[in-house]
Structure 1
Amino acid sequence: MHGIHTIDTGFGRPAFDAAYLVVERGRGAFIDSGTTHSLPRFLDAIHAAGLTPGDVDWVILTHVHLDHAGGAGELMKHLPHARLAVHPRGARHMIDPAVLIAGATGVYGEEAVRRDYGTIAPVPSERVVEAADGFVVDLAGRALLCLDTPGHAKHHIAIHDERANAFFTGDIFGLSYREFDTAQGPFIIPTTSPVQFDPDEAHASIERMLGYGPEAMYLTHYDRVGDVPRLARDLHEQLDAMVAIARRHMDDPDRDVRIATEFTDLYVGRAKRHGVALPADDIARLLKIDIRLNAQGILVWLDRTAKA
């Protein structure tokens, strides 16, 4: 649809982590790069779209978390004419990924980073373009507008595709796994990050995207969703509920466990009301990693705001 090709990057589990190839008049742009392990899937996507690696002009990163950007350095080695567009705060981390690697290692451990993301290669500085708010990538006359959309991370952009009237949202418009689709449509939850989550900024970024009247959102986790106004309301409600839960337990000695437990109850309860037929334990299992990360992210935010 609209020359947009979904790539399952292979990270995590099937239909968990997506990137996209946008094709316009024989030229291509990737949105996000997956991990280094994803490279064969990206090269296959180029050929499946009838292109060659030399036809790809851009790799655009929504942000520099490794499931979105870890494979950028290796991918760029195979795209002789491509430039890489990234938020100004993320550009230096693509040129020298040492801090990124150290941060991920601190959260997940060295063995897990090596297993899940592979070797993180740098991108030559002369190929990196800082996509500040309002930067437009011109893909053979097709405008891809980059908007600064903090909330999940300070180095996050969402890309508005004027031709498709849709956004590539990275993580700022939440997570929607296809296992949870029902007759009522897709189910969605917010996603924080371990260090830079800010609920007020997330609310504002969601509203900013809604101002463009998008017909669809292309999520990293996972794929295209419609019914955008309803999903935005769901995200706003859950962000408020998550903040309330976190504040209720901020002084508890076991606050991380209590918050994660109540987040589980929140998401499972909403999923069941949405008509998800899976048993509650299966819903919780599929969301286990996201629940842990959401609890971590909101705790870091709590502690940061308490010191402000």
Structure 2
Amino acid sequence: MMQVPTQALGHGITLIDVQIGRPNVVAAYLLQQGDRAVFIDTGATRSVPALLQVLENQGVDRGCVDYVIPTHVHLDHGGGAGALLEYLPEAQLIIHPLGARHMIDPTKLNAGATAVYGEEVMQRVFGDLVPVPEERMIIAEDGFEVDWNGRLLKFLDTPGHARHHFSVVDAASDGVFTGDAFGLSYREFDTDETGNFGLPTSSPVQFDPEAMHASVDKIVHAGQRYCYVTHFGRVHDVKRIQGNLHELIDIYVETAAAYAEQSAEGHQALSAALMDIILDRAVQHGCDMPRDIMADLLQMDMDLNAMGLIK
């Protein structure tokens, strides 16, 4: 039997570490309400066996999964959706209107991701994308609601990281599933004194700082206590993270301006500059890990953030 790291978060929510890259980086969430289930975010195609194993471990019949809900179509969030649906005979995909075409025909999504990660990483880490039949899709506009087995799920349009991004309000758990719209928050950076440490993600190709500012506020104004971020887990310091994200979004943009006309060397220099900013912030937050260890944990994110800032 495959061993899949999970964490029970209460309210029928199981965090699943889909282990893309290192552990504790990419989460999918299984929600259970009575005998019914929903997945929010899926990881990649190569994550699907782990998701199915968790269903089996939880005693959930595959026919009892009603929805698969990628917060957006980036491969670590929705790359596995098509492959997963092949095993879930009753499930429908709930998707942002701007993401639907990429699920129906993932050719451009695959090409864009290959341009970012390279062919070798695409195959080794993510796997081939499986199209989703249009008749199995539900399009969720801003404010769309689903009464799922007596549990209300409300969808908020939250661009900034990507135009095809929504977040899912789940009042039953006092939380919002935010994908990447409320940034990254890795558990290794939590401290007893100051709690959760959060930072924005400006990865390619649709970073929009003004839209991200608005989405951060929209999530907080939903009035829930928690955010369930894909990278990684549940955070509770929502108001403080909100302020930090606003500050860092502006700092990202200001820092990137100095490198906007440069080539690949500029990208590397910007990645290093962003790393210094975030490491300094982590130290201020109270993180006592050596800087080289923190840098190793954040290197991929800083490289992707720099790529998204230099367009």
Q: Which residue of 2 aligns with 1:11?
A: 20
Structure 1 residue 128: deviation in Å? 1.1
Structure 2, unmatched stretches of 5+, are 1-9
Residue 163 of structure 1: SS of its match in structure 2? helix
Residue 143 of structure 1: SS of its match in structure 2? strand
The separation in 1 between residues aligned to 2:19 and 2:268, in whole angstroms, is 30
Q: Which TM-score applies when normalising by structure 2?
A: 0.94
Letter in 1 for 2:133: P
The separation in 2 between residues aligned to 1:256 and 1:282, in whole angstroms, is 22
Query: Is the Cα–Cα contact under 8 Å of residues 34 and 70 in structure 1 kept in the other structure?
Result: yes
Structure 1 residue 193: deviation in Å? 2.2
Query: Is the Cα–Cα contact under 8 Å of residues 190 and 235 in structure 1 kept in the other structure?
Result: yes
Query: Is the Cα–Cα contact under 8 Å of residues 173 and 206 in structure 1 kept in the other structure?
Result: yes
Q: Which residue of 2 aligns with 1:77?
A: 86
Q: Which residue of 2 aligns with 1:232?
A: 242
Residue 88 of structure 1: SS of its match in structure 2? coil
Structure 1, unmatched stretches of 5+, are 301-308
Query: Is the Cα–Cα contact under 8 Å of residues 171 and 224 in structure 2 kept in the other structure?
Result: no
1:89 paired to 2:98: yes
Structure 1 residue 92: deviation in Å? 1.1
* Residue number among 266, 269, 274 corresponding to 1:258 in the alignment: 269
Residue 7 of structure 1: SS of its match in structure 2? strand
Query: Is the Cα–Cα contact under 8 Å of residues 169 and 219 in structure 1 kept in the other structure?
Result: yes
Structure 1 residue 244: deviation in Å? 1.2
Query: Is the Cα–Cα contact under 8 Å of residues 28 and 139 in structure 1 kept in the other structure?
Result: no
Q: Which residue of 1 aligns with 2:127?
A: 118
Structure 1 residue 74: deviation in Å? 1.1
Q: Which residue of 2 aligns with 1:132?
A: 141
Letter in 2 for 1:130: I
Structure 1 residue 49: deviation in Å? 2.7
Q: Which residue of 2 aligns with 1:305?
A: none
Q: Which residue of 2 aligns with 1:220?
A: 230
Letter in 2 for 1:264: M
* Residue number among 183, 186, 211 corresponding to 2:221 in the alignment: 211
Of 200-209 and 249-258, deviating more is: 249-258
* Residue number among 266, 280, 285 corresponding to 1:269 in the alignment: 280
Q: Which residue of 2 aligns with 1:241?
A: 251
The separation in 2 between residues aligned to 1:246 and 1:119, in whole angstroms, is 33
Q: Cα deviations across residues 1-60 of structure 1 (Å, max 9, x unaligned)?
A: 111110111211111100101111211110011111111211122123331101100001
The separation in 1 between residues aligned to 2:142 and 2:52, in whole angstroms, is 30
Of 247-256 and 165-174, deviating more is: 247-256
Q: Which residue of 1 aligns with 2:61?
A: 52
Residue 271 of structure 1: SS of its match in structure 2? helix
Root mean square deviation of aligned Cα: 1.2
Q: Which residue of 1 aligns with 2:197?
A: 187
Query: Is the Cα–Cα contact under 8 Å of residues 145 and 159 in structure 1 kept in the other structure?
Result: yes
The separation in 2 between residues aligned to 1:255 and 1:202, in whole angstroms, is 24
Query: Is the Cα–Cα contact under 8 Å of residues 153 and 197 in structure 1 kept in the other structure?
Result: yes
Q: Which residue of 1 aligns with 2:152?
A: 143
The separation in 2 between residues aligned to 1:199 and 1:155, in whole angstroms, is 15
**Percentage of identical aligned residues:** 49
Residue 172 of structure 2: SS of its match in structure 1? coil
Structure 1 residue 70: deviation in Å? 1.0
The separation in 2 between residues aligned to 1:134 and 1:261, in whole angstroms, is 39
Structure 1 residue 201: deviation in Å? 0.4
Q: Which residue of 2 aligns with 1:278?
A: 289
Q: Which residue of 2 aligns with 1:202?
A: 212
The separation in 2 between residues aligned to 1:251 and 1:153, in whole angstroms, is 23
Query: Is the Cα–Cα contact under 8 Å of residues 64 and 70 in structure 1 kept in the other structure?
Result: yes
Query: Is the Cα–Cα contact under 8 Å of residues 29 and 139 in structure 1 kept in the other structure?
Result: no
Structure 1 residue 250: deviation in Å? 2.8
Structure 1 residue 166: deviation in Å? 0.6
Q: Cα deviations across residues 39-97 of structure 1 (Å, max 9, x unaligned)?
A: 12111221233311011000011000011111111110111100000101111111111
Residue 98 of structure 2: SS of its match in structure 1? helix
Structure 1 residue 215: deviation in Å? 0.5
Instruction: Give the length in aligned residue pairs.
Output: 300
Query: Is the Cα–Cα contact under 8 Å of residues 259 and 310 in structure 2 kept in the other structure?
Result: no
The separation in 2 between residues aligned to 1:3 and 1:49, in whole angstroms, is 11
Query: Is the Cα–Cα contact under 8 Å of residues 27 and 140 in structure 1 kept in the other structure?
Result: yes
* Residue number among 161, 167, 172 corresponding to 2:181 in the alignment: 172
The separation in 1 between residues aligned to 2:128 and 2:252, in whole angstroms, is 35
The separation in 1 between residues aligned to 2:196 and 2:102, in whole angstroms, is 34
Q: Cα deviations across residues 250-300 of structure 1 (Å, max 9, x unaligned)?
A: 345643233222101110000011111111111111100100111111112
The separation in 2 between residues aligned to 1:117 and 1:252, in whole angstroms, is 30
